[in-house]
Structure 1
Amino acid sequence: MLAGPRLALSHGTGYLQGTWEKAYQDHRRKVQEARPVVDSRAPPTLSHLRLKLGKLKLEEGRLSVIDRDNRLLLEKVSCIVRTGRRTRSGATCVHRSGN
């Protein structure tokens, strides 16, 4: 181990200087024995960032529009099938507005 700088005290107390040197040597030993610590884990993600409620709400709205359009198309097709393909010639199909 490397010897650290010696502290020279003017009043010459060997006990205090020995205590400081021991503390310094303990510090130097701990620095030499220190191992690198690297945290390679992913940072924790917050639940509101994983769930994305806004995206789910938009998707639900889009699916409801698709379901409504499919239902309207099904009604039109069933009307055509019932009337024997005479929709423009005066058949009694109920046309519902898309609005």
Structure 2
Amino acid sequence: MALQHRAYQPLFPTGNKYLQQKWDKASYDLHKQKVKSATPTISKTPPKSYGHLAVKLKKLKLEEERKMKIKRENNMLMEKISHIMRTTGGVDNKNSYDVKSLGKKKRQLELLRITNENQMILFRLSQCRPHYNVRSWHEDWLKTLRVMDSIARYPRVRASQQKGQEKPSKKSNDAATHSLVTNNSNNKPESAENESS
């Protein structure tokens, strides 16, 4: 044990290993003591508690007011029930009330006025005569067809018959009028050919 200092290897060169070991051991013990007694730099204690945050007097006050209101309503209800129990009760179950409306008469008069106006408009529309004459339109169209056939080099009926594109779905009136016009126009070119020959 007395010769332990000879096996000690100091960090820096020294003249006396025994003294250097003693000083190093003393500084190491001091370091360990400081580590044990060191205080933390970050506080790990719980935060300070405040009484007004824990108790919440406003919430207790609101709860108390709500209980007082419920108690007052219960007392009123109890008084009503006791009054009904003491007496026969003032409930009338007869349902003879007629529903009345303040604006019923005015609405009926307005509806009657609107109905009368609609009837007058309908009467005027039914008595109204049309401004356009369909017969004159038809006669104008027949004249137009005659003119078209007279100025055409080949009549339209013959060309459609040669191509086989005659449509049977046309209205009978249009077909009849068209055939009359084309017959008249067919007669005219033949007479012209006869004259030229």
Scaled by the length of structure 1, the TM-score of the pair is 0.49
Higher relative contact order (CA 8 A, sep 6+): 1
Greater helix share, structure number: 2
